[in-house]
Structure 1
Amino acid sequence: MRLKNVLIVVKDMEKSKRFYHDLFGLDMVVDHGGNVILTEGLVLQEEKIWRKFLNRDIIPKNNSCELYFEETDIEAFVEKLETLYPSIEYVNKRITHSWGQSVVRFYDLDGNLIEVGTPM
């Protein structure tokens, strides 16, 4: 067995596809309407469909998991983030941990937690 994909819930599919393409270079591989698979295995699922599957409320910003990306030029990434999405909500702006890794954490447009860090 192997992990195939990671699925996150989004409200507006077009905005989310653009967000993940603009910031991370992820492109669409398969479009099933309310379910889209992007490169690197990220799956976007429309909130209304996910709510119907689970028959439960969707809780954005629940902080129980995060998407983690690595970027060697974190300064350029933060500049791109601030230019393209100036109203993005940060969990923490760029910090450097005691072990030397520089990271930034923020929520995507739907409250999914993202961390971008320099390679370890």
Structure 2
Amino acid sequence: MKMSMRYIILYVKDVEKSKEFYRDCLGLPIRGEHGTYIELRTGATILALNSRKSVQELTGLQVSSSHSLSQTFEVGFVVEDVKAVIEDLRSQGVPILMEPVMKPWGQTVAYVADPDGHFIEICSSMD
């Protein structure tokens, strides 16, 4: 069986606020919008947003009405200049969770938070 990741959907409290963050702060182009469901272009994998309420109504699955204080995943974006991106995001008022640091394996990594508190890794390429 062959599988490939096509998309990740973040369940968010405020779709418009999240759309503004990902589109305006991170510069991700909108691929499509269908009601509360929004797809953003990130390369080979689509990052999508949808409201928690809509997901619960569409799927019948139990979705928490607010984000948990316990983070269980992160979304990572590779950039050419981590420090410059972090300074740009800081100037836009984005919460910086961890300043850029060089990891022992040679990668520069920093973390910010989106409007729902999801961890967003901003990092250099490992290639």
Normalising by structure 1, we get a TM-score of 0.86
Structure 2 equivalent of residue 55 of structure 1: 62
Deviation at 1:103, TM superposition (A): 0.8
Structure showing the higher helix proportion among its residues: 1
The CA distance in 1 between the partners of 2:68 and 2:33, in whole Å, is 23
Distance across 2 between alignment mates of 1:60 and 1:106 = 17
1:46 positional shift: 0.8
Counterpart-to-counterpart distance in 1, 2:119 and 2:47: 14
Match of residue 81, structure 1, among 71, 89, 106: 89
- C-alpha separation in 2, matches of 1:67 and 1:94: 16
SS of residue in 2 equivalent to 1:76: helix
Q: Is the 8 A contact 2:86 2:96 kept in 1?
A: no
Equivalent runs, 1:24-103 vs 2, <5 Å: 24-40=26-42, 41-52=46-57, 53-57=60-64, 58-86=66-94, 88=95, 90=97, 92-103=98-109
Contact 1:60–1:112 (CA under 8 A) maintained in structure 2:
no
Contact map agreement 1:101 1:118 (CA 8 A) in 2: yes
Q: 1:98 is aligned with what amino acid?
A: P
Tell me the residue number matched to 2:7: 5
- Write the distance in 2 (CA, Å) between the matches of 1:111 and 1:50: 19
Deviation at 1:119, TM superposition (A): 1.1
Query: Which secondary structure does the structure 1 equivalent of 2:111 belong to?
Result: strand
- 1:28 deviates by 1.4
| Deviation digits for residues 77-105 of structure 1 (CA, Å, limit 9, x no counterpart) | 0111100125x151x22211112211111
CA separation in 2, counterparts of 1:113 and 1:51? 23
AA at the equivalent of 2:122: V
